[in-house]
Amino acid sequence: MLPRLFFGYFAIVMTVLALVIITRKNPVHSVLWMLVLFFHVAGLYLFLNAEFLAAVQIILYAGAILVLFLFVVMMLNLREEIVSERFGGAWPLGVSVGAFILVLIFLSTGNFVQGPVGKYSIEAIRAETQVKAVGTLLYTEYLFPFEVASLILLIAIVGAIVLAKKRS
| CB of 72 vs other proteins, minimal distance in Å | 5
Size of the site for other proteins (CB under 8 A): 85
Contact pattern from residue 46 through residue 85 relative to other proteins, giving x for each residue in contact according to CB under 8 A and a dash for the rest: --xxx-xx--xx--xx--xx--xx--xx-xx-x--x--xx
Closest approach of other proteins to the CB of residue 168, in Å: 14
- Smallest gap from residue 27 Cβ to other proteins (A): 5
| Phi, psi dihedrals of residue 26, rounded to the nearest 5° | -90, 120
Positions 7 through 26 that interact with other proteins (CB under 8 A): 7, 10-11, 14-15, 18-19, 21-22, 24
Q: Give the one residue of 4, 144, 147, 168 binding other proteins; rule: CB under 8 A.
A: 4
In this complex, which beta carbon is closest to other proteins, that of residue 76 or of residue 127? 76
Gyration radius (Cα) of the chain, Å = 21
- Give me the helix-helix angle, 27-47 and 66-75, nearest 10°: 180
Give the integer Cα–Cα distance in Å for 153 and 159.
10
What one-letter code names the amino acid at 154? L
Q: How far apart are the first and last CA of the chain?
A: 64
Binding mask 127-146 for other proteins (x = CB under 8 A): ------xx--xx---x--x-
Tell me the CA distances in angstroms from 116 to 49, 61, 84, 126, one per residue in order.
Answer: 19, 32, 53, 21
